[in-house]
Amino acid sequence: MTIRRRIYLALGFLGALHASVLLASFFAPYDPEVQDRELPFAPPTRLHFVDERGRFHLRPFIYACASSSMPVAACVEDLTRAFPLRFFVRESSAVEKANLANQGAELGASESKRRHWRLFGVDQPARIFLLGSDGLGRDQFSRLLHGGQVSLLAGMLAAGLALGFGLVLGAVAGFYGGWVDELIMRSVELFLALPWLYLLFAVRAFLPLHLSAVQSFFLLIAVMGVVGWARPARLVRGVVLSARERDYVAAARGFGASDVYLLRRHVLPQAFGVVMTQAGILIPQFILAEVALSYLGLGVAEPVPSLGNLLAELQQYHVMASYWWMFLPGAALIPVFASYYALANALQERAGVVPT
Amino acid sequence: MLRYFTRRLLHGLFLVVGVSLLTFFLLQLAPGDFFAEMRLNPQMTAESVAAVRHQYGLDRSVATRYLLWINSVRKGELGFSFAYDSPVACLLWARARNTLILTLSAMLLSWLIAVPVGLGCGARPGGWSDRLCLGATSSLLAIPDLLLALGLLFLAVRTGWFPTGGMVSPGFDDLSGWGKVKDVVSHFCLPVATLVLGTVPVLVRHVRAGVVEVLASPFIRAARAHGITRRRLLARYALRGAAAPLISLLGLGITTLLSGSLLVEVVMSWPGVGPLLWEAVLARDLYVVVGAVMCSTLFLVGGNMVADALLFAVDPRIRTE
Amino acid sequence: MTTQNVTGTKFEGGHEGRPYVSRFSMTTTALQVRALSKTFVQRRMLSRKSIGITALRGVELALQLGCALGLVGESGSGKSTLGRCMALLERPDSGEIWLDGKNLLSLKSSELRRARRSIQIIFQDPARALNPRFSAVELVAEPLEILRWDTYEARRRRALDLMEEVGLSRQWGNRLALEFSGGQRQRLAIARALAVEPRILVLDEALSALDAPLQVQIMNLLVDLQVLHGFSYVLISHDLRLIWRAVDEVAVMHQGTIVERGKVRDVFAAPGHTATQMLLELC
């Protein structure tokens, strides 16, 4: 397969992944904060096509779990009533609130209860847990989608921030040289001398520990961006240095071009290729960092889901031993990384660097 | 040549000092400290909290504290841990020893596996073994460390073949000498396996790339024309040619000896530097954090220097600079 | 017509040498270089010693209006440095460069920027001197864009006119620079330099990368353009045969100073300095 085709394939796949995650509210049957205390650690709901009388239905249906069998991780299906899977469900907030109130379930503090479409759903009081539920009865599938949104977004924003800083500082260092260059390069070395996870820790450590979910999200992005600028800065500086010495830059200077013009027209476009390649490498790294930090409790805070958050439940022995579906958020990361790495490899090959 | 090394040494020293300053001052900016939680306790009056802080020297200025810390480093204590009520150094050495047991074994094992596999793959680029190789490494690379650790732990929990975390079982002290060794080994299988699974794909790819590049070069074709057998070719010539990047990889492996296993240690409850650092961050145990970060930096800077030195020794081209 | 110099080397003038053309009865100085000195310093890290390479030692040079001067010398004699200093690409350590009654080295940056237009340089390697991602018309119009001259359309038109002047078809305006051959790129470089209507053109080994027939073509182009636009040019080259054909006067540089100056026919026939002799011998 040619390089270009590989790039397009990887991009296409990534685009599909990101789109599905962006439209989390549509694909997810429930809001991520909605709890159902009567169904903690419910296993993934089984979809049936054939009812107990042997009749085949085109539309799959589920059975509710008989509540008396909770919280053991085996859902005894209540065969008295079948709940068909409905597509393009649109629930009004009032109805949903009333239904949930009847169940005795709790609503999360921040309910985004606008009337909006969902791809599928089932009537109350059954719940469709495609990937099971967690300790508080929250649908893992919905949380996966929303968590994926948070994690992927965090990765991209942080990478954008780091690349932005790196681009500006690297360009300034390379273009102006002198003590500015020395200062920036020494800082780069300093930042690179710390193992990055440890640096994240150190920086995270100096910030307040107990923050609201939204604050923690942006703080995390800021921290990752601030920590990750060093390597892109060094690469951009290299590009800028070589571009600066070109004769055509000297010629343009000979026509009286200002520094800004030279940067804009001649130097920075060269850096663009490097930045793109770096993006393919940094974004998965930052997604991973977010997952790691959230797993350790230093990233996105509850109740906002993130893939790291979701995995944190596995720190408890009984969860890991009995509830295998709690692993699935982690498994969702694998195709994301695989595509990003494929993309990064292809971009590197195109730029002439030998990827390993 | 001596000048080159003194220069690198000074540079490394500058980095270490710089990092110590950076971490120290960053951490000082943290709102609240270890004793902040104490204030919430109704039995503790404000004065007693202040007294405790004074006792630990937390009410002094930042610069004074840094100088005191430097002094402590000189004495070999690396500051004082509030949570463990002991000098940081003893804490750190014990944990670091545990981490190094893990990472050194993992490194050894990874290299032992990766070099022959990489050689085998690189020997016939494009062949079925090569494609298998690339496929396997790509798949493994796509799985993050955290997942590998969780996955292996899950395996242990389900099958009971391996203990599920920690370094020693309860009742360790009652075991015989050989029994103790076996116990530790059974505990460290899983973490080492995780680390190895994480590093082998990267190494294999590098070895393979190096071998492929060397095999494509003209002097190898000349050697083949002379009739040297393929096996001899691989062993004596290809590996030597690909040695330079591999050596620097080795040096770089040293850089992560202390820091690379943090997640694995936390997941598998292995008592290494990772969990120590994590707890210290959550508890704001200032000097532990600084000490742990400094140690890892030492390894990182040292590893880079070792990599440079090895490269210098191996690659004659660099010597003429 | 052939001449023979002291060492016995014959010069064939395929073009009869180049007749001395002066458009002015009075010699008016376009550019005056006074006591120009430049030393390049290389400092090694962590060492006290620094190695200095003196490129120019108190160079004195006067360039007349409308003249064509050749600058020759062995490698390291400083001719390229002199050319770059004249084009204001390098800053000399001491000395003066007078143009229009002003010392260019003492001007403030805004005035300097205006003065830069008067002296342009053409580099040896056209591949490096032109940004390969620019199109031909963007390249030639770049100086106008930098000076914010007129509108976008007017700049484009002028660029295309200039392209025609240097012998390139207007239709190639949108082609990228890397699609042109070496000789064509030099033409683009010349067109670009002419866009700002310079008074002096410095050609730093500009023809060395081209093959012989192409050199002749570009040389002829340059001569024609000079008649048309009236600039003076300085041709820096190590190829004496080219110098013979291309310029009126020649200045010989040796170890940072100008050791000989005169009409090319005279200097080559009867070299006064040992350096000139050595150059001619090597020919």
From the CA of A341, how many Å to the nearest CA of chain B?
A: 7
Q: Let me know whether A157 and A111 are in one domain.
A: no
**Final residue belonging to a domain, choices A138, A153, A184:** A138
- Would the pLDDT of B172 be above 50? yes
Q: Let me know whether A106 and A199 are in one domain.
A: no
Q: Torsion angle, CA of B151/B152/B157/B158, rounded to 10 degrees?
A: 70
DSSP bridge partners of C98:
C32, C103
Give the Cα separation of B36 and C215 in Å (integer).
81
For an interface test with C, the pick among B1, B2, B3, B14 (most C C-beta atoms closer than 10 Å) comes out as B3
* DSSP strands (E only) in C44-177: 50-64, 68-73, 94-99, 102-103, 119-122
- In C, minimum Cα distance to A270 occurs at C133
Q: Which range (A231-235, B105-109, B189-193, C52-56) has the least confidence?
A: C52-56
Give the pLDDT confidence of B245-268 residue by residue, as tens digits. 777 778 778 888 888 888 899 888
Asked if B34 contacts B83 with a C-beta cutoff of 8 angstroms, the reply is yes
Query: What pLDDT score does C43 carry?
Result: 65
Query: What pLDDT score does B36 carry?
Result: 64
DSSP 3-state of C72: strand
Yes or no, beta carbons of B3 and C45 under 8 Å apart: no
Give all strands of the β-sheet with C50-64 in edge-to-edge order.
Answer: C50-64, C29-43, C94-99, C102-103
Residue A18 lies in a domain: no
For chain A, report the end-to-end CA distance as a whole number of angstroms: 18
Query: What pLDDT score does A167 carry?
Result: 92
For chain C, report the end-to-end CA distance as a whole number of angstroms: 18
Structure token digits, residue A336: 């994301």
Residue A267 lies in a domain: yes
Yes or no, beta carbons of A205 and B281 under 8 Å apart: yes
What is the phi/psi pair of residue B218, to 5°? Answer: -60, -35
Yes or no, beta carbons of B29 and A206 under 8 Å apart: yes
Give the pLDDT confidence of A1-47 residue by residue, as tens digits. 678 888 888 889 989 888 888 888 888 888 888 887 777 888 888 78
**Final residue belonging to a domain, choices A118, A138, A158:** A138
Residues 6+ apart with CB under 8 A from A79: A52, A63
Q: Which amino acid is at B7?
A: R
Residues of A in contact with C130 (CB under 8 A): 248
Residues of A in contact with B153 (CB under 8 A): 320
b vs e for C182-202, b when ≥16 Cβ sit within 10 Å of the residue's Cβ?
A: ebbbbbbbbbbbbbbebbbbb
From the CA of B278, how many Å to the nearest CA of chain A?
A: 8
Give the Cα separation of C127 and A64 in Å (integer).
74
Residue A170 lies in a domain: yes
In Å, what is the CA distance from B257 to each residue of A228, B108, B301? Answer: 21, 12, 12
- In A, minimum Cα distance to C125 occurs at A247
- Would the pLDDT of A160 be above 90? yes
Residue A289 parent element (H or E): helix A268-295
User: Is-cis flag, bond preceding A71, omega within 30?
Assistant: yes
Give the Cα separation of A256 and C104 in Å (integer).
14
Q: Let me know whether A78 and A177 are in one domain.
A: no
Yes or no, beta carbons of A256 and C128 under 8 Å apart: no
Give the Cα separation of A239 and A147 in Å (integer).
37
Residue A224 lies in a domain: yes
From the CA of C176, how many Å to the nearest CA of chain B?
A: 34
From the CA of A175, how many Å to the nearest CA of chain B?
A: 24
- Would the pLDDT of C19 be above 60? no
Query: What pLDDT score does A106 carry?
Result: 46
**Complex prediction ipTM:** 0.80
Q: How many CB pairs under 8 A join A and B?
A: 122
Give the Cα separation of C15 and A323 in Å (integer).
94
**Numbered residues of chain C with Cβ closer than 8 Å to any chain B Cβ:** 45-46
Q: Torsion angle, CA of A276/A282/A284/A290, rounded to 10 degrees?
A: -140
Give the Cα separation of B291 and B280 in Å (integer).
11
- In C, minimum Cα distance to A253 occurs at C89
Query: What pLDDT score does B109 carry?
Result: 93
C43 has a chain A CB within 8 A of its CB:
no
User: Is-cis flag, bond preceding A303, omega within 30?
Assistant: yes
Query: What pLDDT score does A159 carry?
Result: 93
pLDDT band at A161 (very low <50, low <70, confident <90, very high): very high
Q: Which range (A127-141, A163-177, C194-208) has the least confidence?
A: A127-141
Residue A337 lies in a domain: yes
- Would the pLDDT of C192 be above 50? yes
Residue with tokens 């009742």: B171
As a whole number, the mean pLDDT across chain C is: 81
HSE-up of A224 (CA within 13 Å, CB side)?
A: 32
Report the predicted TM-score, pTM, of the whole model to 2 decimal places: 0.77
pLDDT band at A112 (very low <50, low <70, confident <90, very high): very low
For an interface test with A, the pick among B8, B16, B22 (most A C-beta atoms closer than 10 Å) comes out as B22
Structure token digits, residue A266: 């001649």
Yes or no, beta carbons of B289 and A202 under 8 Å apart: yes
Q: Which range (A329-343, B94-108, C95-109) has the least confidence?
A: C95-109
Residue A17 lies in a domain: no
Yes or no, beta carbons of A208 and B32 under 8 Å apart: yes
From the CA of C244, how many Å to the nearest CA of chain B?
A: 43
**Numbered residues of chain A with Cβ closer than 8 Å to any chain B Cβ:** 186, 189-190, 193-195, 197-199, 201-209, 288, 291-292, 295-298, 311, 314, 317, 320-321, 324, 327, 330-331, 333-335, 337-338, 341-342, 354, 356
Percent of chain A with pLDDT over 90: 7
- Would the pLDDT of C14 be above 50? no
Query: What pLDDT score does A353 carry?
Result: 60
Q: Let me know whether A289 and A178 are in one domain.
A: yes
Q: Let me know whether A238 and A325 are in one domain.
A: yes
Asked if C283 contacts C241 with a C-beta cutoff of 8 angstroms, the reply is yes
Domain count across chain A: 2
From the CA of C10, how many Å to the nearest CA of chain A?
A: 37
Yes or no, beta carbons of A250 and C120 under 8 Å apart: no
Give the pLDDT confidence of A49-82 residue by residue, as tens digits. 877 777 777 777 777 776 655 555 567 777 777 7
Query: What pLDDT score does A102 carry?
Result: 52
For an interface test with C, the pick among A182, A244, A255 (most C C-beta atoms closer than 10 Å) comes out as A255
HSE-up of B8 (CA within 13 Å, CB side)?
A: 14
CA angle C156, C157, C159 (to 5 degrees): 65
Nearest to B235, CA basis, from B261, B257, B259, B214: B214
Q: Let me know whether A218 and A275 are in one domain.
A: yes
**Final residue belonging to a domain, choices A104, A138, A172:** A138
Q: What is the CATH number of the domain that holds A267?
A: 1.10.3720.10
Residues 6+ apart with CB under 8 A from A273: A351
Give the pLDDT confidence of A264-273 residue by residue, as tens digits. 888 888 888 8
Q: Let me know whether A255 and A178 are in one domain.
A: yes
For chain B, report the end-to-end CA distance as a whole number of angstroms: 9
Give the pLDDT confidence of A302-325 residue by residue, as tens digits. 778 888 888 888 888 878 877 888
- Would the pLDDT of C100 be above 70? yes
- In C, minimum Cα distance to A260 occurs at C146
Residue A154 lies in a domain: yes
As a whole number, the mean pLDDT across chain B is: 80
Residues 6+ apart with CB under 8 A from A99: A124, A125
Q: Which chains contact C through at least 3 pairs of Cβ atoms less than 8 Å apart?
A: A, B
pLDDT band at C170 (very low <50, low <70, confident <90, very high): confident
Q: Which range (A179-183, A333-337, B33-37, C30-34) has the least confidence?
A: B33-37
Q: Let me know whether A189 and A272 are in one domain.
A: yes
Which member of B144, B282, B284 has the closest CB to residue A288? B144
Asked if B129 contacts B204 with a C-beta cutoff of 8 angstroms, the reply is no
Instruction: Indicate the burial class of C216 (C-beta count within 10 angstroms; 0-12, 13-18, 19 or more).
Output: middle
Structure token digits, residue C272: 């006064």
Q: Let me know whether A185 and A298 are in one domain.
A: yes
- In C, minimum Cα distance to B3 occurs at C46
Asked if C38 contacts C81 with a C-beta cutoff of 8 angstroms, the reply is yes
For an interface test with A, the pick among B137, B147, B248 (most A C-beta atoms closer than 10 Å) comes out as B147
As a whole number, the mean pLDDT across chain A is: 80
For an interface test with C, the pick among A185, A244, A247 (most C C-beta atoms closer than 10 Å) comes out as A247
Yes or no, beta carbons of C146 and A256 under 8 Å apart: yes
Percent of chain A with pLDDT over 70: 87
Give the Cα separation of B177 and B199 in Å (integer).
32
What is the phi/psi pair of residue A88, to 5°? Answer: 55, 60
Yes or no, beta carbons of B27 and A327 under 8 Å apart: no
Residues of C in contact with A253 (CB under 8 A): 89
Give rounded-to-5 percent helix, strand, coil for chain C.
40, 30, 35
Give the Cα separation of A132 and A322 in Å (integer).
12
Query: What pLDDT score does B197 carry?
Result: 92
Give the Cα separation of A5 and A7 in Å (integer).
5
From the CA of B31, how many Å to the nearest CA of chain A?
A: 6
Yes or no, beta carbons of A186 and B278 under 8 Å apart: no
Q: Let me know whether A282 and A197 are in one domain.
A: yes
Residue A53 CB neighbours (<10 A): 5
Structure token digits, residue C142: 């770049």
Q: Let me know whether A198 and A319 are in one domain.
A: yes
Residues 6+ apart with CB under 8 A from A72: none
Give the pLDDT confidence of A272-304 residue by residue, as tens digits. 888 888 888 889 989 988 898 888 888 887 778
Percent of chain C with pLDDT over 90: 9
Yes or no, beta carbons of C123 and A254 under 8 Å apart: no
In Å, what is the CA distance from A137 to each residue of A35, A72, A144? Answer: 5, 13, 14
Give the Cα separation of A91 and B23 in Å (integer).
52
Q: Which chains contact A through at least 3 pairs of Cβ atoms less than 8 Å apart?
A: B, C
In Å, what is the CA distance from B82 to each residue of A128, B33, B39, B147, C89? Answer: 49, 10, 16, 33, 63
Query: What pLDDT score does A2 carry?
Result: 79
Q: Let me know whether A237 and A314 are in one domain.
A: yes
Pick left, alpha or beta for residue B8 (phi over 0 → left; psi -120 to 50 → alpha; otherwise beta): alpha
CA angle C18, C215, C244 (to 5 degrees): 30
For an interface test with A, the pick among B37, B150, B290 (most A C-beta atoms closer than 10 Å) comes out as B150
Give the pLDDT confidence of A117-129 residue by residue, as tens digits. 888 887 777 778 8
For A298, the domain range is: 143-352
Asked if A27 contacts A145 with a C-beta cutoff of 8 angstroms, the reply is yes
From the CA of A276, how many Å to the nearest CA of chain C?
A: 18
Residue A245 lies in a domain: yes
